[in-house]
């Protein structure tokens, strides 16, 4: 049962979007979810094929929060809820998958699944109870071993929308997509291989930017404690999952993910975004904006050095494809993986230093810089190395030729299905505003 979060303390939702929801025709609320969650233990070896068997274990009480973003008009709801496992790598909840594409009729739900989101970690914790002890006084978390069942119970609560007061009462809920990024993507991968066969509550799962590295089922209360005692467990998505699954990785993860690649099937897709880093500049600016508003802080502010190739517009497109897939449409279009040299370890690059293969965005097809998915100074942020003015003038003799080439590349990406129309339009607008070739 979901009930509204008490209007106490600051009276604000931690970590919510920076977007103007009213202008977009959306509303948002924060809700308390409480009950008993169970933990899981591996009944046999956790093999690389992902065909895992888990045994349910000890149950403990929990109370967590989730925030629900939905079209104000139920008639504009497309029937699909994107349920994101909020990421706690920075020591507090961070959402990554609530991009512009979700305002096309989706409902979005961010779930505080892990201990770190509630209690934070380290000497100066920044969890929900630290940020607003009054608003989040009721929250209780038994530890990350119970996080998987908490994510299951969130899905069940979202489907049980018959009662008045439920955030989706009056909305025709059809499909739930469970998704996560990075550390949360690893949790979704483990969920797919071990928990989904038991719980069967999600209609599709999207483990993203996790390089095929799964999270543990047993390992301690806080995410830091769990990670300290566990080695990465690389795995594929189990072939007999029974529901659609889609992975997405960037150039950052590609060298780690390459040994774990699996072929596309009627129920599985994988995309790799060339040029993009784990934490590209556009994303880092959004995170920093939320941190400034909420008064929390992290060290992830490498805006200038970071790759300027963003993966979020492509994850938006991927979510749209999965939505249509669940409605009986075709799977997301197949995309070539990022190319590697003969050694199998080094990413193959063109004369500009940009990766070959993978999802091809206009930044790589009409380059004004070289982009690296992994950074020397800021490893997760990647790098951008702008071309010298003379090189830009050589590549693009006049402004019109540059804009025309960007427009063609944006249309090609749109046709390939790796961006949405709004992003294609933005590429052209940005090209028109750019001083390329340089006029001084």
The angle subtended at Cα 77 by Cα 113 and Cα 139, nearest 5°, is: 20
Task: Tell me the pLDDT tens digit for each residue of 91-149.
Answer: 999 999 999 999 999 999 999 999 999 999 887 889 999 999 999 999 999 999 999 99
Q: List the chain domain ranges.
A: 2-243
Instruction: Give the count of beta carbons closer than 10 Å to the beta carbon of residue 26.
Output: 21
φ/ψ of residue 206, rounded to 5: -135, 85
What is the full DSSP assignment across 60-127? EEEEEEEEEEEESSGGG--SEEEEEE-B-TTSS-B--S--GGGGTT-EEEEE--SHHHHH--SSS--S
Cβ-proximal residues to 263 (8 Å cutoff; 6+ apart), any chain: none
Give CA–CA dist 157/175, Å, rounded.
Answer: 13
Print pLDDT tens along the chain (440 aa): 799 999 899 999 999 999 999 999 999 999 999 999 999 999 999 999 999 999 999 999 999 999 999 999 999 999 999 999 999 999 999 999 999 999 999 999 999 999 999 999 887 889 999 999 999 999 999 999 999 999 999 999 999 999 999 999 999 999 999 999 999 999 999 999 999 999 999 999 999 999 999 999 997 544 443 344 455 799 999 999 999 999 999 999 999 999 999 999 999 999 999 999 999 999 999 999 999 999 998 766 666 789 999 999 999 999 999 999 999 999 999 999 999 999 999 999 999 999 999 999 999 999 999 999 999 989 999 999 999 999 999 999 999 999 999 999 999 999 999 999 999 999 999 999 999 999 97
Q: What does the CA dihedral 357, 363, 369, 373 come to, rounded to 10 degrees?
A: -50
Give CA–CA dist 56/146, Å, rounded.
Answer: 10
Which of helix, strand or coil describes residue 278?
A: coil
Maximum C-alpha span of the chain: 68
Nearest to 100 by CA among 206, 195, 21: 21
Nearest to 308 by CA among 395, 371, 394: 371
Burial track 81-95 (b if 16+ CB lie within 10 A, e otherwise):
bbbbbbbbbbbbbbb
φ/ψ of residue 287, rounded to 5: -60, -45
Give CA–CA dist 410/42, Å, rounded.
Answer: 46
């Amino acid at each position: 049962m979901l009930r509204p979060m008490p209007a106490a303390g600051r009276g604000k939702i931690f970590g919510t979007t920076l977007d103007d929801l009213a202008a977009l025709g959306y509303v948002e609320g924060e809700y308390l979810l409480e009950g008993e969650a169970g933990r899981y233990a591996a009944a046999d070896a956790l093999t690389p094929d992902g065909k895992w068997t888990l045994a349910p274990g000890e149950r403990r009480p929990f109370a967590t929060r989730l925030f629900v973003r939905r079209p104000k008009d139920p008639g504009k709801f497309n029937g699909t809820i994107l349920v994101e496992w909020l990421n706690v790598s920075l020591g507090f909840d961070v959402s990554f998958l609530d991009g512009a594409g979700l305002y096309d009729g989706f409902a979005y739900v961010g779930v505080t699944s892990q201990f770190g989101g509630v209690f934070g970690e380290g000497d100066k914790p920044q969890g929900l109870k630290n940020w607003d002890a009054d608003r989040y006084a009721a929250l209780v978390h038994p530890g990350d071993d119970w996080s998987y069942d908490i994510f299951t119970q969130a899905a069940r609560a979202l489907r049980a929308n018959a009662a008045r007061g439920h955030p989706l009462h009056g909305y025709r809920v059809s499909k739930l997509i469970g998704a996560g990024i990075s550390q949360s993507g690893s949790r979704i991968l483990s969920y797919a291989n071990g928990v989904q066969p038991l719980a069967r509550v999600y209609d599709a799962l999207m483990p993203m930017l996790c390089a095929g590295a799964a999270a543990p089922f047993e390992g301690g209360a806080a995410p830091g404690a769990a990670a300290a005692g566990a080695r990465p467990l690389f795995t594929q998505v189990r072939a007999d999952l029974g529901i659609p699954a889609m992975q997405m990785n960037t150039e950052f993860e590609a060298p780690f993910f390459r040994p774990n690649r699996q072929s596309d099937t009627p129920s599985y897709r994988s995309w790799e975004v060339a040029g993009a880093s784990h934490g590209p500049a556009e994303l880092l600016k959004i995170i920093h904006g939320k941190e400034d508003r909420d008064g929390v802080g992290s060290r992830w502010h490498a805006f200038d050095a970071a790759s300027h190739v963003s993966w979020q517009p492509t994850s938006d497109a991927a979510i749209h494809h999965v939505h249509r897939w669940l409605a009986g449409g075709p799977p997301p279009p197949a995309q070539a993986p990022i190319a590697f040299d003969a050694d199998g370890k080094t990413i193959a690059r063109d004369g500009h230093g940009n990766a070959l293969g993978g999802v091809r965005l206009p930044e790589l097809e009409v380059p004004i810089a070289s982009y690296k998915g992994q950074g020397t100074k800021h490893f997760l942020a990647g790098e951008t190395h702008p071309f010298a003015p003379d090189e830009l003038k050589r590549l693009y003799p006049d402004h019109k030729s540059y804009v025309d080439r960007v427009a063609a590349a944006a249309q090609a990406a749109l046709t390939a299905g790796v961006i949405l129309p709004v992003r294609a339009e933005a590429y052209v607008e940005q090209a028109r505003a750019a001083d390329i070739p340089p006029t001084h």
